[in-house]
Amino acid sequence: MPVEGGGKTDMERIGLFSEMEYITVGDKYVSPFNRPFNEAASKNKQMLPGGSKKMSNLQAGYFDPHFVRIFEGEGYVNLNQVKRRDMMQAAKKNLSKAFLPSSGDKRPCGLGSYYGTIGGPVPFFSAQSRPREKYEAPGRNLYTSPGKKGTGYGYANITIGEQFSHAADLYEAPKQNYKKVNEEHHRLLKGAPFKLNLHPRDYFDANPYFSEEPLPPIKREEKKEAISKTFKPSSPGKKPGGMKAGTFDPYPSHSADPYVTKLAKISGKDDKIFHPPSGPKSRPVESIMTLNVRRALNSKNYKTASVPSY
């Protein structure tokens, strides 16, 4: 479109010859699932190859109607003759004789020699020594006397300075100095130490078990006299030897008892016989889980009941 203030269109300003075509405008939408794979295969006539052929010695296994040779009617060619013919034609193009150098290449006769090189020896790599200025020594170093031998413990005159003079040191000098300072401190004090007339009270009550009365004398426990001798019976115990010699009482007298069989007493109809009552009989009992299931799910609410989530 033309722009105000200029005669060029937008396409001319961009530099394109024409605007790009809109190919898809107005086309019908075709789903990729319903679109055929090869549209040309369903239009016009198609090529019918007539089936696959198998390789064989017959002519039916080839595309051509008859067998065609690659080289037919050609003559024998010698490769050496062809090469020589090419060399002779190339030699005719030479204007003069072949270039031959005046002498062969020279080979170095040893490591570091420049024989056979183009430029010859390089002065920078020369082995000759360059002229140098005369060396002047910077001067002598500081000379000192050798160090004195000794470790410093028990050896005299081995330090740089003078030897320390011996000074006597009292054995109890700190104690005597503290005594002098303490006496000077008490001398400067004036009067007795300051004390309050009010006696401080305790935060808690006094001890109720505390008494200023003297304690009673300690009661000593009476020692019981231990029996020194052990008790011994007057005579040892008697052992039963098939009789009652070891008992306190004498053996009882034998009473005559005739051997008579005792018959069991037969109870009559009038006698009341005790019959214990029968105990509780066992019967099938349902579990607590079954009762809870029947209570939560029954014939009335089985359609509306929901499964609990644990």
pLDDT at 263 over 70: no
**DSSP secondary structure letters along 116-149:** T-SS---GGG--SPPP-PPP----PPPP-PPPPP
**pLDDT tens digits, one per residue of 44-71:** 877 777 777 776 777 777 777 777 777 7
**pLDDT tens digits, one per residue of 96-154:** 888 887 777 777 777 777 777 777 788 888 878 888 899 888 888 887 877 767 666 66
Q: Residue 87: pLDDT band by 50, 70, 90 thresholds?
A: very high
Paired residues of 9 in beta bridges: 2
Q: How far apart are CA 38 and CA 10, in angstroms?
A: 41
pLDDT at 129: 85
